[in-house]
Amino acid sequence: MQVDLTRIKPYGDTLNDGAVQLSFTLPVEHSVEAVEAARQLAGKMGFLEPQVTYSKSIGTGFSFFVVYGKANQTVDFTGIKVEKVAVMVMEKKEVEYFIKENFSRPVNVVGACIESDAHTVGIDAIMNMKGFNGHKGLESYKGINAYNLGSQVSCEELVARAMEVKADAILVSQVVTQKDIHVQNLTKLIEIMEAEGIRDEVVLVVGGPRIDHQLAQELGYDAGFGPGTYAEHVASYIVQELKQRGGLR
């Protein structure tokens, strides 16, 4: 099977068949007309040979559809570029050794869910002793003083605490992203840090299920971590970035 990397498309059971499955709801009563509308809609989305394989009324005025179609577009895989956090991921022990070798004092890390966000599952997974899924959190790292401020911490409070403990890095978690509330919150934090003159004195990291490095950089953060991130990823990045900046202040 010879894949043309300059023109890739979805694979179902035959190369370049373009097979795609999707499901959606239309705000109309279920009827044969509704099914035809769903089929035509998939066609307008650009799918070839759209087929409604299942449809059902889901309450007055709504119909649900499962649709298959074939993608009519391709992508040049050889031309893809994605902003990634440039870091060599180390194990916990290696991070601890790295700190001992490179810095004369422990690294201070402050973390919080800021503003209205009350969901600590992400920041806890990275910072708390137990970590997540068998990956111990930053609190357990020798050479790291980890301060997890928890949920609904105002940007002002986070900045004040960071200055108080002389933070080398700040970790911000944003789980709630409805109506782009996270963008507002993250922008506010940057503005306050710049006003306080500490933006360039810390490594500023954001994480969350809908966060990626590109978004983080666009918002003025040093790095962004998305799903599947464990404490060692964040720790590796922080210590290497700090070293690159010439060590701890």
Partner 1 sequence: MSKLGIPTVKIAKARGAAEKIAGDIQLHIDRRTTVSVERAVLRLYGVDGATDEGAPLVNVVVDQVLHSGRLGLGISYWLANGISCYQLSPQELAENIAAGKIDLVKTPIQDEGAIREEIDKLAKDGLAKITAKRAEREELLARLAQGTEPLLYVIVATGNIYEDVIQAQSAARQGADIVAVIRTTGQSLLDFVPYGATTEGFGGTYATQENFRIMRQGLDEVGEEMGKYIRLTNYASGLCMPEIAAMGAMERLDVMLNDAMYGIIFRDINMQRTFVDQYFSRMINGFAGIIINTGEDNYLTTADAFEAAHTVTASQFINEQLAVKSGMKRSQVALGHAFELNPELENSFVYELAQALLARELFPEAPLKYMPPTKYMTGNIFQGHVQDCLFNVASVMTGQSLHLLGMMTEAIHTPHIADRYLALENAAYVFRAMKDLAGEITFKEDGMIHQRANQVLDNAIALLEEVAELGLMEAISKGMFADISRSSGGGKGLAGVVFKEPGYYNPFMEAMKEGR
What x/- string results for residues 214 through 233 when contact with partner 1 is judged by CB under 8 A?
A: -------------x------
Per the listing, tokens 């498309």 go with 9
Residue 12 binding partner 1, by CB under 8 A: no
Task: State which residue, 103 or 132, has the beta carbon closest to partner 1.
Answer: 132
Minimum CB distance to partner 1, residue 113 (Å): 9
**The binder of partner 1 chosen from 7, 56, 84, 93 (CB under 8 A):** 56
Work out whether 129 is an interface residue with partner 1 (CB under 8 A): yes
The residue range among 103-111, 144-152, 166-174, 212-220 that interacts with partner 1, by the rule CB under 8 A, is 144-152
Taking residues 164 to 203 in sequence order and writing x for each that binds partner 1 by CB under 8 A, - otherwise, the string is: ------------x-xx-x----------------------
**Residue 136 annotated in active site:** no
Min dist CB 114 to partner 1, Å, is 11
Q: Which is nearer to partner 1, 199 or 233 (CB)?
A: 233
10 binds partner 1 (CB under 8 A): no
Stretch in the footprint of partner 1 (CB under 8 A) among 37-45, 92-100, 127-135, 231-239: 127-135
Encoding tokens for residue 171? 């970790």
Closest approach, Cβ 231 to partner 1, in A, equals 15
Cβ of residue 228: shortest distance to partner 1, in angstroms?
8
DSSP the chain: ----TTSB---SSSTT--EEEEEEEESS--SHHHHHHHHHHHHHTT-EEEEEEEEEE-STT-EEEEEEEE----B-GGG------------HHHHHHHHHHH-SSPEEEEEEEBTT----HHHHHHHSTT-BTTB--GGGSTTEEEEE--SSB-HHHHHHHHHHTT-SEEEEE----GGGHHHHHHHHHHHHHHHHT-GGGSEEEEE-TT--HHHHHHTT-SEEE-TT--HHHHHHHHHHHHHHTTS--
Catalytic machinery residues: 130
